[in-house]
Chains A and B, each alone.
Chain A
């Protein structure tokens, strides 16, 4: 079992889901792949399908349109899967709180389908890549306790 969690910690594959972000957080997420930060050093890569993902990187406010799709995405990932809520919007919908087109917050949306989901929060508008790497490290630490 210890071997499996060790392997999981060393090879986190990330699926990036935009649930109505302004694209700023997305640019910062892509920055992690650039030479300056190069997250592949830790075995993390972006994958194209949620079925391959170990981390669901969610950006955006989670609009009413995006809400059921985000839930479906989370259900499609192979467990164990960590959710990374990136940016102020994904945390508590930022300046768009109580707007007419809002769904539930990202964490509430995901907890509605899986109460035991592992959710990490990365505050910032947009958060710096260092903050995201910090969240990834915390996720790795957390996975040790699984």
Chain B
């Protein structure tokens, strides 16, 4: 029990620090792309610290309970998923059955809470943002789950049993080959990267908080500590999603040798910087373009990858 609480606290605080550092990486890389100098490394920490000291405002037309509770529940959900994910990555054998499914559900909660908070704020900009957030969630969730299914099919045991345990997923990949090593794996990872971009609410999928169009949309009425909680949730999500992708598609963290940690850091940072680079080289899309992109382009790609993976698994062709 005490051990569990300790793991939870360590994972949550560690991911928060890591996530805020990655926020700085994002801002610094953005600045370098734009030929600027960029903020100092402690900037995201200072932002959070400042926001906790600011006044907390609530609009008169807001529903107080939903408005103030939503950021707390979002932060709690993402903290729990940090504990599950880090535990599964560091001690694969102790993970519980179906933790991948629990993770997918938990990682959906911050988006749901954003919608709840925006809808209870009583602001028309936030209402538009909430509706966009909902459509975005409906768009990326299906290809995301399909892409993860590809990895599950590709890592099925020799007797064809599918596993929904992250620990088994990584153990099989480390014993044989990563799920990404193959046509279906590459397709699935590409789909998953774009879904991650949408889940993190980064450009070109940031229409829910389009700051020059609907004034920070879903977050327009948040200030002070509530806004700090939202920023922390987003920073932690930004640290978690690349980790999930590395664990599911790219054989996770190999703890058997020193170079395991090094390659893990390389894969992880590559995905993190990729998010920033996509964000810096694309304009914001409209919500109807996004839905069309995810449903009519990425979902068929993910389905094709899934079929390839199933055929490959049935015929024993590892490169398919």
Task: Report yes or no: B216 in contact with A49, Cβ–Cβ below 8 A.
Answer: yes
Task: Report yes or no: B53 in contact with A10, Cβ–Cβ below 8 A.
Answer: no
Question: Which A residues are CB-close (under 8 A) to B222?
Answer: 51-52
A19 to B290, CA, bound (A): 35
Interface size class of A (residues with CB under 8 A): 20 to 34
Contact indicator per residue, chain A 27-59, by CB within 8 Å of chain B (1) or not (0): 000000011001011010001110110100000
Judge if A24 is at the interface, Cβ distance under 8 Å: no
Task: Report yes or no: B50 in contact with A41, Cβ–Cβ below 8 A.
Answer: no
Judge if A142 is at the interface, Cβ distance under 8 Å: no
A80 to B57, CA, bound (A): 12
A51 to B51, CA, bound (A): 11
Greatest chain B CB density within 10 A among A3, A35, A51, A52 is at A51
Judge if B288 is at the interface, Cβ distance under 8 Å: no
Known: A40-B31, A40-B36, A43-B43. A4 touches B49 (CB 8 A): yes
Interface size class of B (residues with CB under 8 A): 20 to 34
Known: A48-B220, A49-B215. A78 touches B27 (CB 8 A): no
A144 to B227, CA, bound (A): 24
Judge if A7 is at the interface, Cβ distance under 8 Å: yes
| A-facing residues in B206-247 (Cβ within 8 Å) | 209, 211-212, 215-216, 219-224, 227
Task: Report yes or no: A54 in contact with B215, Cβ–Cβ below 8 A.
Answer: no
Judge if A102 is at the interface, Cβ distance under 8 Å: no
Partner of A52, one of B36, B56, B212, B223: B223
| B-facing residues in A66-112 (Cβ within 8 Å) | 76, 78-80
State the Cβ distance, B281 to closest chain A Cβ, in Å. 17
Judge if A8 is at the interface, Cβ distance under 8 Å: yes
A146 to B230, CA, bound (A): 27
Task: Report yes or no: B219 in contact with A49, Cβ–Cβ below 8 A.
Answer: yes
Question: Which B residues are CB-close (under 8 A) to A48?
Answer: 209, 211-212, 215-216, 220
Judge if B38 is at the interface, Cβ distance under 8 Å: yes
Question: Which B residues are CB-close (under 8 A) to A78?
Answer: 54-57, 223-224
Known: A11-B43, A40-B39, A49-B219. A3 touches B49 (CB 8 A): yes
Contact indicator per residue, chain B 8-46, by CB within 8 Å of chain A (1) or not (0): 000000000000000000010001001111111001001
A118 to B223, CA, bound (A): 20
Task: Report yes or no: B49 in contact with A41, Cβ–Cβ below 8 A.
Answer: no
State the Cβ distance, B232 to closest chain A Cβ, in Å. 15
Q: Which 7 A-B pairs have the closest CB atoms?
A: A48-B211, A4-B53, A7-B49, A7-B50, A48-B216, A78-B223, A51-B223
Known contacts A35-B36, A40-B31, A43-B40; 8 further A-B pairs (Cβ under 8 A): A8-B50, A35-B35, A38-B31, A41-B37, A51-B227, A52-B222, A78-B224, A79-B54
Residues in chain A within 8 A of chain B (CB atoms): 3-4, 7-8, 10-11, 34-35, 38, 40-41, 43, 47-49, 51-52, 54, 76, 78-80
9 A-B residue pairs with CB within 8 Å: A4-B53, A38-B31, A41-B37, A41-B38, A48-B215, A48-B216, A48-B220, A51-B220, A79-B55
